[in-house]
Structure 1
Amino acid sequence: MGRTHNPGEFMGHPKGLFLLFGTEMWERFSYYGMRAILTLYLIAAVDKGGFGWTKPEALQLYAYFTMSVYLTPLIGGWLADNFLGQRKSIIIGGILMAAGQFTLGLPKAYIPGMEEQVFFLGLILLIAGNGFFKPNISTMVGDLYGEGDHRRDGAFTIFYMGINLGAFMSPLIVGYVAETIDWQYGFIIAGVGMLCSLAMQIALAEKYLGDIGKEPAAKRKVAGEETASSRPLTKEEKDRTKVILIMSIFSIIFWAGFEQAGGLFNIYAQDFTDRMLFGFEIPASWFQSVNALFIIIFAPMVASFWIRLDTKEPTSPIKFALAMIFLALGFLVMVGATMAQGGDTTVKVSMMYLIMAYLFHTLGELCLSPIGLSMVSKLAPLRFASLLMGAWFLCTAAANFLAGFIGSFIGEGEEQVENALSIFAGFGISGILIAVVLYFISDKLVDWMHGAEGEHHTEEEIIEEELETSASR
């Protein structure tokens, strides 16, 4: 169902785009802010406001939390499509996430003896709210434009820039307050960000979105729109499905390494990195902003690079292989950091090690994440498109669990540096090996795509896909 009225335009786009831009920006501010401080809060000493958990315990919880964040959107998306509609789902999700952040922010003095129970309640509310919110808002951006509207690609570029802006700002603000003033205040500020998102949607959606997102998608389907589900898959469809599943499985290793950012890398930044700069100690959580900043800087450059290669542009499997090489390079940088420590947990290394690791991992992300989402949308048989997109995100969920599980092997005490070295080296070697495998099977995977790989896009379309990386996480 389209808009019932035209609220006007701004910068050549419907004003509703900028409402969705702000809604998603503040939601990402809220989520990435709490993610930046979660493990640090858990391992902080009790007398410093934390829980005093061991690092393995904190990273295992991080694993379960981030895995759940990728599972619940499958349920929330189904409920929105069949019963609630996108607008109601976003409001429900926003309320639950705001409640979750403020629950995490409750001063421990108010809940004596129930601190951990209240903490887990806050996480459950965040997970449930994310399931309603995450899968729905991007779809509404596309609904602002009619078929063939050339402004659609530029709209998504603007929208994804908002996501990255929120992801960049939140660790700087939330992290600083949490680490220097009080952890609970950090969660409260993240909650305020979620309230800003929610307030914009409640107050302005009717004016700027009209009827968009009100009616469940299932009710809008017309007769003959769906293909018969009983028809068996053709050989071409089977081959394309194999490509999606193979690439999804390979992506698990990439995301398991990449997601060390919020876990093991976060702890390494706090305990083993010299964060002094001109007499100011940089909060460990600030390093969580580096990835979003690098996306904003390098996404247009990478898009331009692919365009300039023209017919020599690498295929999707080769781009996946490049992503694995960049992942390996990032971990090899961290191997260098741990070797510089010489096994001594009292030695702190230059922050440039982490910054360079984040740079390589961001370049890898720009090679893999937008390519993966585009690949599923291009190759999936129409009647199984949602199922196979779900398989992609299920693999991402598995990767997030694996990230925390592997990171938890850092242990405690004198063994930490040696264990970190083993983890970093293991990811580095795995990345190189998988890149080699992808290189040698790339031609076969392209054959199984049956011509879908030959499509060419404009620079604006590729920039949109590159900036989309934060939306998929």
Structure 2
Amino acid sequence: MWEQFSYFGMRALLVYYMTTTLVFGQEKASSIYGFYTAFAYFTPIIGGTIADRWLGKRRAVIIGATIMAAGHFMMAFQPAFYFALATIALGNGLFLPTLPSQINDLYKADDPRRPWAYNVYYVGVNLGAFLAPLICGFLGETYGWHWGFGAAGVGMLAGLLIYLWGQPYLPVERSEEGNTAPAAKSHRGRDTVLLLLGIGLAVTIFRGAYEQIGNTFALWMRDDVDRTIAGFEVGAAMFFSLNPLLVMIMTPFLLARWKRQAARGRELSPTQKMATGALIVAASYLVVAAAEALSGGGRAHWIWLLTYFVIFTLGELYILPNGLGIFARLAPPKLGATTVASWYLAIFTGSLAAGQVGRLWSHLGHVEFFVLLAAIASVAAVLLYSLDGATKRVLAQVAGPKPRDDLTDVPEGIARPQNA
């Protein structure tokens, strides 16, 4: 929870800080935002390997959290801006892929309580993401950006202290040397590699549109939306809390719906859910395009903003948890954190793409720009639908009569928010 508080608290302020205090142009700010979020999701590839082979999960989390806390505090000092961003991303590389797998190790593979434990974890994650824009956003917009960045650092430090205090309750790390070669081969087959590459390409395209929520969409929300509610103008950064709040509200209803569909044999496959989610996110950007068109050059009513977040979050819940779930289920022995981390490689490439797409904000009309985002998400949906047959075939090949405890670090349906 506190790690997410620090990450989303800092991210909610980043573009505003660059375009005001640092006086960066919109194109430069969008590019830096894209490079930062990309780097933050590239480092887990390296960090997951280091954790699997050398450090172990506990030490990786502790070292990663310490580095991230230092980076957040550096953000309070303007000359250290670039170094601070790099420091946060490096710490994230050790922290992000290793923490969830420790929950997995608390249970046997067939223990029915395991998915519910991850639901508790997921609620905590979203609680942190919900509180971050409210607290860090309020401090940053009211008292100065450095106060907001400092609050993010305090949050990361609180998370580290809680983790150290709770170590006696953590699972004992188990050696996976005894895993058999056939299992590894079955997961490293050509079909599996091609499938993950295909999904990664589709998610990369999708992220080009999705990641605009903290980039160009943040500028639209600040400059083109009337955020006055009951006579009080709500800070733009505080609206980012709507996304995790809606995740917490909507997830139980969505899971209940999928459970009913599964009982009737009508539940969508994981790839079908992902494609549906991409189309829903495309619809959310069409809503923004309509709001901009109907405003007639004025400021759109905040109800359009609320509508966008509801639709956007629903699409997120369809696509991101299921994508991570596919990668987790195909994780080979002794490479659990590494394979889960490879999911973040698609976020890395997608964030780079989003930074470049964001540069078009200054060259296109706002209506045309949001229609373009809808088109990008729709292309990703088409690619995901085309991979549905291959996904079903590969998942069927790796499925056994009983879940193997060493085949996955994260069960299907769990993802980091904004994120995730």
Fold equivalence (TM over 0.5): yes
Letter of the 1:332 partner, please give it. L
The match for 2:3 is 27
2:275 maps to which of 321, 324, 327? 321
Can you list the C-alpha shifts for 1:3-28, whole angstroms capped at 9, x where unaligned? Answer: xxxxxxxxxxxxxxxxxxxxxx1111
Residue 79 in 1 paired to residue 55 in 2?
A: no
Structure 2 residue 353 is the aligned partner of structure 1 residue 402 = yes
| Superimposed CA distance per residue, residues 40-75 of structure 1 (whole angstroms, 9 cap, x where no aligned partner) | 11111xxxxx11111111111000100011111111
**Secondary structure of residue in 1 paired with 2:315:** helix
Please give the secondary structure, in 1, of the residue aligned with 2:222.
helix
| Residue of structure 1 aligned with 2:162, choices 200, 210, 222 | 200
Q: Please give the alpha-carbon distance, in whole angstroms, between the structure 1 residues aligned to 2:225 and 2:157.
A: 34
Hey, what's the Cα distance between the residues in 2 that align with 1:97 and 1:244?
29
1:361-408 alpha-carbon deviations (Å, 9 max, x no partner): 211111111211221233456587666544432111111111122112
1:336-375 matches, cutoff 5 A: 336-342=290-296, 344=297, 347-375=298-326
> 1:227, CA displacement in angstroms?
1.1
Q: d(CA) in 2 for partners of 1:437 and 1:65?
A: 27
- Counterpart for residue 156 of structure 1: 118
Deviation at 1:131, TM superposition (A): 1.1
2:408 counterpart residue number: none
How far apart are 1:295 and its partner, in Å?
Answer: 0.8
Is 1:141 aligned to residue 103 of structure 2?
yes
Q: Are the structure 2 counterparts of residues 439 and 275 from structure 1 closer, same or farther at C-alpha, using a change threshold of 3 Å? A: same
Deviation at 1:353, TM superposition (A): 2.1
CA contact (8 A) 1:75 1:131 kept: yes
User: 1:307 is matched with which residue: 235, 259, 262?
Assistant: 259
**Match in the other structure for 2:288:** 334
Structure 1 unaligned segments of length 5 or more: list them: 1-24, 45-49, 107-114, 458-463
Structure 1 pair 466–359 and aligned structure 2 pair: CA distance change class (3 A): farther
Secondary structure of the structure 1 residue equivalent to 2:181? coil
TM-fit CA distance, 1:235 = 11
Match of 1:275 among 227, 230, 254: 227
Q: Are residue 183 (structure 1) and residue 123 (structure 2) matched?
A: no
CA contact (8 A) 1:237 1:381 kept: no
Contact 2:209 2:376 in 1 (8 A): no
Displacement, 1:100? Answer: 1.0
Q: How does 1:77-156 map to 2 (within 5 A)?
A: 77-106=48-77, 115=78, 117-156=79-118
Q: CA RMSD in A?
A: 2.8
Q: Give the alignment of 1:212-291 within 5 angstroms.
A: 212-213=172-173, 220-222=175-177, 224-227=178-181, 237-291=189-243
Q: Which amino acid aligns with 1:442?
A: D
Q: Is the 8 A contact 1:377 1:385 kept in 2?
A: yes
| 1:158 Cα deviation from its structure 2 partner | 0.7
Distance 1:322 1:142 in 2: 28
Deviation at 1:358, TM superposition (A): 2.0
1:215-235 CA-partner distances (Å, limit 9, x unpaired):
xx6xx233x424179x9x679
User: Which residue of structure 2 lines up, in the alignment, with residue 14 of structure 1?
Assistant: none
Q: CA deviation at 1:305?
A: 1.1
The total of aligned residue pairs comes to 411
Percent of matched pairs sharing the same residue: 31
Q: Any idea what the Cα deviations from partners look like across 1:338-365, whole Å, max 9, x if unmatched?
A: 21244x3xx2111222222222221111
Q: Using the alignment, how far apart are the partners of 1:87 and 1:441 within structure 2?
A: 36
Instruction: Give the distance between the partners of 1:445 and 1:236, measured in 2 at CA.
Output: 14
Separation in 1, partners of 2:187, 2:214:
42
Report the residue type matching 1:30 in the other structure: S
Structure 1 partner of 2:249: 297
1:468 aligned onto 2:415? yes
The question of whether the paired residues in 2 share the 8 Å contact of 1:39 and 1:263 is answered with yes
Contact 1:334 1:357 in 2 (8 A): yes
Q: Which has the larger radius of gyration?
A: 1
Find the aligned partners of 2:418 and 2:360 in 1 and give their Cα distance.
Answer: 29
Q: Deviations over 1:258-298 (max 9, x none)?
A: 11111111111111111111121111111211111111011
Please list the CA deviations of residues 148-187 of structure 1 after superposition, one character each: whole Å capped at 9, or x if unmatched: 3332221111111100000001100100110011111001
Question: Quick one: which amino acid aligns to residue 114 of structure 2?
Answer: R
Contact 1:161–1:467 (CA<8 Å) still a contact in 2? no
Q: Distance in 2 between matches of 1:148 and 1:437?
A: 34
CA contact (8 A) 2:4 2:128 kept: yes
Q: Which moved more, 1:257-266 or 1:313-322?
A: 313-322
